[in-house]
Every structure is written in C-alpha cells, then in structure tokens.
C-alpha cells in the first residue's frame, strides 16, 4: 500500500481518496496532494468524520488526471457526504445536517455514559 501522506513539492502527483463507514458505504470522495492533511480538515469540520473506518488512496501523475477520476466517482459512485459535483449540489437542506449533528451528539453522550459507568467503583 502506498503511504497516504504528501508527495514531494517538486511533483504534480495528486491522490484521489475514498472514505468508507463500517458497513462499507462510500461516505466521501476527495482529492489532494496530502490526503492526511485533508482528513484532518474533514475531522475538524464535518460531523460525519467519526463514521470513517476505512479509506483507499490512488495516486495520479497529474492533478488533471486525479480531478477527472474524482468527477467520475462523484457522478457514478454517489458518495453519501459529497455535495459539489453531485446531483445533490444545490439541494442540500439543513435537515440532513441537523440529523448528522444529533447522531454525533447522541454517540458522544453514550460514550460519556459508558466511561462514567466503567469508572464507577460500585
């Protein structure tokens, strides 16, 4: 497996990455010269990030080739959380975002309750 980190600054190599959840659903398709850095941004900005359990990375010699693969993947693979470049672009409502945030908060509450129960000396 090729390391998903950055390529050297003297190259145009660009990766297309796919992020999957535990059920194998394609959550997101993206591209960049440093996928790990992009994933850090996703982790900070997107409520769906905690569901990512697996990724694939494919390197392309040029940004143009990577962009072509990303566009094709967005059209044909229907990643759950991509908006730009998909038929959902412009149709996103706040309801989906609110639901994601509710699920994330519920999961955080469950983890906190489990941690509290595990540390209770009873």
**42 & 81 share domain:** yes
User: Into how many domains does the chain fold?
Assistant: 2
**33 & 8 share domain:** yes
**17 & 38 share domain:** yes
Burial environment of residue 27 by CB neighbours within 10 A (0 to 12, 13 to 18, 19 or more) = buried
**pLDDT tens digits, the chain, 122 residues: what are they?**
344 555 555 568 999 999 999 999 999 999 999 999 989 888 888 888 999 999 999 999 999 999 999 999 988 998 988 876 555 544 555 556 666 777 788 888 999 999 988 887 76
**41 & 83 share domain:** yes
Q: Are 47 and 97 in contact (CB under 8 A)?
A: yes
Per the structure, the complete domain to which residue 80 belongs is given by 1-89
Q: Which two tokens stand for residue 36?
A: 């790990």
């Amino acid at each position: 497996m090729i390391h998903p980190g950055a390529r050297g600054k003297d190259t145009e190599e660009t990766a297309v990455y796919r992020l999957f959840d535990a059920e194998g659903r394609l959550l997101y398709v993206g591209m960049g010269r440093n996928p790990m850095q992009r994933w850090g941004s996703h982790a900070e900005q997107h409520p769906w990030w905690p569901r990512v359990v697996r990724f694939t990375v494919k390197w392309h010699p040029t940004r143009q080739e990577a962009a072509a693969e990303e566009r094709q993947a967005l059209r044909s693979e229907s990643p759950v959380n991509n908006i730009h470049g998909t038929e959902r672009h412009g149709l996103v409502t706040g309801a989906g975002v609110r639901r994601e945030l509710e699920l994330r908060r519920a999961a955080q509450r469950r983890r906190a309750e489990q941690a509290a129960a595990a540390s209770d000396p009873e």
